[in-house]
Structure 1
Amino acid sequence: MAERNNKGSLLVLVALAVVVLLAAQVKPAVAGDYTTYMQNKVRDIVKANRAVAPGFIRLVFHDCWVKGCDGSVLLERADKQAEMDAPQNGGIRGLDVIQTIKDALAAFDKNVTCADAVVYAAREACYVLSDKKIEYAVDGPGSHKDALTSSMADAGALPPPFANFTDLVANFNAKGFTARDVVVLSGAHAVGQAHRPTFESRLDKSVSGRGEINGWYQGEVDRVSNASPTKAVHNNVRDLYKAEAEPGVLDNGYYKANLQNTVLFNSDWTLRTDTAAASEMQQYKDSAATWYALFGEAMARLSRLPAEGATLAVPRTKCSTAN
């Protein structure tokens, strides 16, 4: 009888353990119903594709900034006039991984859209590349609707790398973001790569002559990017000589680089021309924790920009086509 009771108790304990495990899998990790299970699924896929993880952060900005988070940047057109074909989107990476994420989550929740997958990939890329320092709330499956169409002309809404500070602030204000957000989100340039057309004007000797870029850095960027088969170079000076497949670390290192004139884009350096922006960069350079918190909060707002154009009633099956 005692043995039977012990077995019964053991079965109860096992059942309770299963209930606890299932509860942990469906407990919301963040806002909406982006569950712990889904989060971990995406996180594992991002970890397996760490080399292109910085591209997911760029991708969510390039998608959501245009006409809201609608996955339009993923759409292809036979006439090569889609958003992805615009010069602003040159070098976008990881589109196949977005499809993998979408398919993996759709098996768990049929409401997952391609736009959701872009948002989730960026969130987990921030978490992985920051060594677990950046984590922010995102909305659940179906919150980000998939677009019907995509146009190259719409990519003009993106802030150009050649912009001055006044133009950058105006661009951000138009999306409901502030001058401080310009400084905070620019910190994403701690990781990723850029291609020569986006910074080639900065390689002119007159630019270093005016003190707008470190002369040594200018020369090395010129040399390294010229030697690259894709004419690309890491955004971060500390990664200058690393292999292109090495993704770097998402931290406050961008601000130290900017304050030392070792940044690629004019839109980076121009933050130095505004007193408040320069002061904020010094603050983020001195306090990584401050920047981590502000960056996560800004990314959460970015990830909730609503779709502005026509969207599908159901998710796109293949992210590159409108069903």
Structure 2
Amino acid sequence: MAIKNILALVVILSVLGVSVAQKGLNLDYYKYKCPGVEATVRRVTEQYVSRQPSLAAALLRMHFHDCFVRGCDASLLLKSPNKDAERDAIPNLSVRGYEVVDAAKAALEKKCPGVVSCADVLSLVARDAVLVIRGPWWPVPLGRRDGRISRKSEANLPSPFVGIGELKKNFRVKGLNVKDLVVLSGAHTIGISSCALINTRIYNFTGKGDSDPSMNPSYVRSLKKKCKPTDFRTPLEMDPGSVKTFDSHYYTAVAQKKGLFTSDSALLDDPETRSYIETQVGTGGSSFAKDFSDSMVKLGLIEILTGNKGEIRKKCAFVN
């Protein structure tokens, strides 16, 4: 890791140190309770993601979806016999990568039974998955505990179909600011979606057989070549031409009005988010890696459970 990146991370930790301590987390939380936690999780994550690099985006998305509902408590991982848990909600039906978290947790259970929470495992797996594809590193303070409640009805996640006002509100109520919104949207640089989620946007935006006027016409034409009117399955790159590389190219695409979702295009409708996009385009993404690291640390602190709250699950899919 370059010296300048190390120094930047020292600044991150010093700025967030008080907040992290107040929330009961610690970078060395498992130092004596279960030495080598991070090395174990990294080894398992590398085994999976090196074979299937697309898991990096999937696991990053899983972490985001978990933290936005009931906080970072691994409630997304819980299964329900009645299919009414978070993972059964429509936005989460396409979430994948559970096997990676389960494998890392199983390895830790052999090493230190009942010590490491699934919430911490998921936070580490998301970070390490991005590292495998040479994305940015961020510190993961540890000590989260697992929630016992997971409700399908509570999975009100930021929608790809909404405008900037709704997105800002979604993030604000979770303690994330406008910069976090535009920075974390940059995770779409490695994302894959499908024709199903943009069908209306390119074929019947207002009910009159038209396309969304906020999209680049040439981009609409290219999407129509890939997605026929009745095609809801074909996969689409969220950052065309750069989907395998974690970089700032996503902002170039958005600036060219080639954002795949309404929520991507909406970033041009706010002065602050638009300014950030223009800065990243103009500087070749000079601050994106550091900014992403900062925002991921904040994401990982949302509404966490510590102390006597929650539990340490033996298996991530089931409460004890």
Aligned to 2:247: 251
Stretch moving more, 101-110 or 65-74: 101-110
Is 1:119 equivalent to 2:115 in the alignment?
no
Aligned to 2:193: 194
Q: Is the 8 A contact 1:161 1:199 kept in 2?
A: no
CA shift at 1:205, angstroms?
6.0
CA deviation vs aligned residue, 1:220-262 (integer Å, no higher than 9, x gap): 33443559884432211215xxxxxxx6111101100001111
In 2: Cα distance, 1:148 partner to 1:162 partner: 30
Is 1:145 equivalent to 2:132 in the alignment?
no
CA shift at 1:91, angstroms?
0.9
Q: Indicate the SS of the match to 1:216.
A: helix
Aligned to 1:219: 221
CA deviation vs aligned residue, 1:4-60 (integer Å, no higher than 9, x gap): xxxxxxxxxxxxxxxxxxxxxxxxxx9234655336424523334423121011000
Q: 2:137 aligns with which of 110, 113, 135?
A: 135
In 1: Cα distance, 2:51 partner to 2:169 partner: 38
In 2: Cα distance, 1:205 partner to 1:225 partner: 13
Aligned residues: 281
In 2: Cα distance, 1:162 partner to 1:120 partner: 29
For the aligned residue pairs, the C-alpha RMSD in angstroms reads 2.6
Is 1:318 equivalent to 2:320 in the alignment?
no
Is 1:306 equivalent to 2:303 in the alignment?
yes
**Which amino acid in structure 1 is aligned with residue 176 of structure 2?**
F
Q: Is the 8 A contact 1:144 1:306 kept in 2?
A: no
Please list, as runs of the form range in 1=range in 2, the aligned pairs for 1:17-56 lying within 5 A after superposition: 31-33=27-29, 35=36, 37-38=39-40, 40-45=42-47, 46-56=49-59
CA deviation vs aligned residue, 1:129-162 (integer Å, no higher than 9, x gap): 2x2x51111123xx12112121111111x11111
CA deviation vs aligned residue, 1:151-194 (integer Å, no higher than 9, x gap): 111111x1111111111111111111111111111000001211
* Structure with greater proportional helix content: 1
Q: Indicate the SS of the match to 2:193.
A: strand
Aligned to 2:7: none
- In structure 2, the CA distance between the partners of 1:78 and 1:210, relative to structure 1 (3 Å rule), is closer
CA deviation vs aligned residue, 1:52-79 (integer Å, no higher than 9, x gap): 1210110000001111111111111111
Which runs of no fewer than 5 residues in structure 2 stay unpaired? 1-25, 31-35
Q: Indicate the SS of the match to 1:53.
A: helix
In 1: Cα distance, 2:81 partner to 2:39 partner: 37
In 1: Cα distance, 2:59 partner to 2:256 partner: 27
Q: Indicate the SS of the match to 1:322.
A: coil
Q: 2:266 aligns with which of 249, 263, 270?
A: 270
- In structure 2, the CA distance between the partners of 1:228 and 1:321, relative to structure 1 (3 Å rule), is farther
Percent of residue pairs identical: 28
Q: Is the 8 A contact 1:42 1:124 kept in 2?
A: no
In 1: Cα distance, 2:107 partner to 2:231 partner: 34
CA shift at 1:197, angstroms?
3.8
Is 1:288 equivalent to 2:285 in the alignment?
yes
Stretch moving more, 35-44 or 90-99: 35-44
**Which amino acid in structure 1 is aligned with residue 101 of structure 2?**
I
- In structure 2, the CA distance between the partners of 1:78 and 1:262, relative to structure 1 (3 Å rule), is same
In 1: Cα distance, 2:246 partner to 2:90 partner: 25
TM-score norm. by structure 2 comes to: 0.79
Q: Is the 8 A contact 2:201 2:211 kept in 1?
A: no
CA deviation vs aligned residue, 1:90-148 (integer Å, no higher than 9, x gap): 3111111110111123333331122112111110122222x2x51111123xx121121
Which runs of no fewer than 5 residues in structure 1 stay unpaired? 1-29, 240-246
- In structure 2, the CA distance between the partners of 1:58 and 1:295, relative to structure 1 (3 Å rule), is same
TM-score norm. by structure 1 comes to: 0.79
**Which amino acid in structure 2 is aligned with residue 113 of structure 1?**
S
In 1: Cα distance, 2:301 partner to 2:260 partner: 29
Q: Indicate the SS of the match to 1:288.
A: coil
CA shift at 1:206, angstroms?
5.4
Q: Is the 8 A contact 1:119 1:303 kept in 2?
A: yes
Aligned to 1:84: 87
In 1: Cα distance, 2:139 partner to 2:298 partner: 9
**Which amino acid in structure 1 is aligned with residue 96 of structure 2?**
R
Instruction: Please identify the structure whose Cα radius of gyration is greater.
Output: 1
**Which amino acid in structure 2 is aligned with residue 150 of structure 1?**
S
Q: Is the 8 A contact 1:258 1:269 kept in 2?
A: yes
CA shift at 1:289, angstroms?
3.1
Q: Is the 8 A contact 1:214 1:261 kept in 2?
A: yes
